[in-house]
Amino acid sequence: MIKFEHVSKVYDGKVAVVDDINFEIKRGEFVVFIGPSGCGKSTVLRMMNGTEKPTGGSVCLNDQDISKISETELKRNIGHVTQQTGLFPHLTIGANIRQASRLPRSKKRTDKCSNARIRELLKMVGMDPSEYIDRFPSQLSGGQQQRIGIVRELAKEPDILLMDEPFSALDPITRKNLQDDLKKLHGMVKKTIVLVTHDMNEAFKLGDRIVLMRHGKIVQADSSEELLRNPSSTFVEEFIGLNRPAKCTETLTVEKVAVEVPITASPDMGLARATRRMREMRVRTLVVVEDDETLIGIITARDIRKHKNRPGKIADIVQSDIPVISEGSSAKAAFEKLFLGNAGILPVVDGSNRLKGLVTRSSLAEKLYKVVWDTNGYDNNDSTTDLDVGATCS
């Protein structure tokens, strides 16, 4: 359907930003272009709808050279979705969709976009038509606006949908939902979709085929299975490696790897009672806090054992010079303090040194395991949903 033969693009006689690339995209395929910033992904995409002309080679659409196809024809057959939805702020959602279905530079309206069709399209992206059709773009969330951006392009009934980092401005949950919906949509509408992203997880999730680019060249074009199993070079390996697990944990904050309830004690608690509390709660360390939760330090079973024959209070032997971590920090920072810095446990504190949580080696290991490896057993409905596990690891 789309064929690039020895296509190059050189701006101002300088280096080629697209360098002699060859590929073919079949009808109905979902192809994802990925690669480091500036490697030429967007340029390739823009050459597919003629907004950018190759300086060498040829781009064909259904065996016809794209330079021979009129701009109107290209616009009608190829939808283009970017981060900027380009919705008209003064038009309602319904009017925005209808407007898009008009042929460019023509007063003629296609009859494709009846009200019924608009309603159908809205339903397709999970938006209740009666609720949204008369709203204005500013009355929608970013994710909803992006959905309308997609609907607008679909309203043209294009054969091909080009999408340039369509979700990268959205929060992780919205992004995941839109990815899910786009995947479903592709199954339903059977359009050819070409999407550009820099998110390897998005590529793995959506692409039938992934085209990895670097310095204007295609490094490898394969299914995700094949990319993982047979990376063609160390660059591919590293690109997948660097961009994949890291993304899984990138939104993970220290709160998400903390224990449910830290076991605390007050500084004036006697050591015998402290020992009993440790036994009862099955912990070897207590976090010592004032009544107002101000952190004083920690006390361990071993500390108490050392003072076995001298009765006293926690305050007498509390370790106050201990590593702590600020709330909102990354789980990675907690990992480094706990494992690389050799701390036993890591209290989480706010700006006023009040105890907000506690990370232990086992809580961290357990939560990390779930995020990185155990995505199936992961309960997406619990309070940690915003880990966005689905978006990043599936």
Q: Does 11 bind ligand ADP (CB under 6 A)?
A: yes
Identify which range of 40-48, 104-112, 297-305, 311-319 contacts ligand ADP by CB under 6 A.
Answer: 40-48
Determine which helix (DSSP H) or strand (DSSP E) holds 120, and give its type and residue range: helix 115-124
Residue 37: name its binding partner from Mg ion, ligand ADP, none (Cβ under 5 to 8 Å by kind).
ligand ADP
- Give residues with Cβ within 8 angstroms of 243, minimum separation 6: 198, 199, 200, 201
Q: Crossing angle, helix 115-124 and helix 93-101, to 10 degrees?
A: 110
Q: Does 145 bind Mg ion (CB under 5 A)?
A: no
Identify which range of 41-49, 177-185, 299-307, 361-369 contacts ligand ADP by CB under 6 A.
Answer: 41-49
Nearest to 257 by CA among 338, 149, 200: 338
Q: Which residue number, 42 or 96, has a Cβ lying nearer to Mg ion? A: 42
Give the separation between CA 210 and CA 213, rounded to whole angstroms. Answer: 10
Q: Does 37 bind ligand ADP (CB under 6 A)?
A: yes
Q: Are 306 and 316 in contact (CB under 8 A)?
A: no
Query: Residue from 17, 265, 288, 298 that binds ligand ADP (CB under 6 A)?
Result: 17
Q: Report the residue number whose CB is nearest to Mg ion.
A: 42
- Nearest distance from C-beta of residue 320 to ligand ADP, angstroms: 50
Give the separation between CA 156 and CA 158, rounded to whole angstroms. Answer: 5
Q: Are 289 and 246 in contact (CB under 8 A)?
A: no
Q: Does 40 bind ligand ADP (CB under 6 A)?
A: yes
Give the separation between CA 83 and CA 131, rounded to whole angstroms. Answer: 24
Residue 48: name its binding partner from ligand ADP, Mg ion, none (Cβ under 5 to 8 Å by kind).
none
Q: Does 390 bind ligand ADP (CB under 6 A)?
A: no
Q: Which residue number, 213 or 364, has a Cβ lying nearer to Mg ion? A: 213
Query: Residue from 21, 30, 32, 41 that binds ligand ADP (CB under 6 A)?
Result: 41
Q: Are 363 and 259 in contact (CB under 8 A)?
A: yes
- Nearest distance from C-beta of residue 19 to ligand ADP, angstroms: 11
Give the separation between CA 18 and CA 54, rounded to whole angstroms. Answer: 9
- Nearest distance from C-beta of residue 35 to ligand ADP, angstroms: 6
Q: Which of residues 25-44 bind Mg ion (CB under 5 A)?
A: 42
3-state secondary structure of 353: coil
Identify which range of 34-42, 218-226, 305-313, 363-371 contacts ligand ADP by CB under 6 A.
Answer: 34-42
Residues that bind Mg ion (CB under 5 A): 42
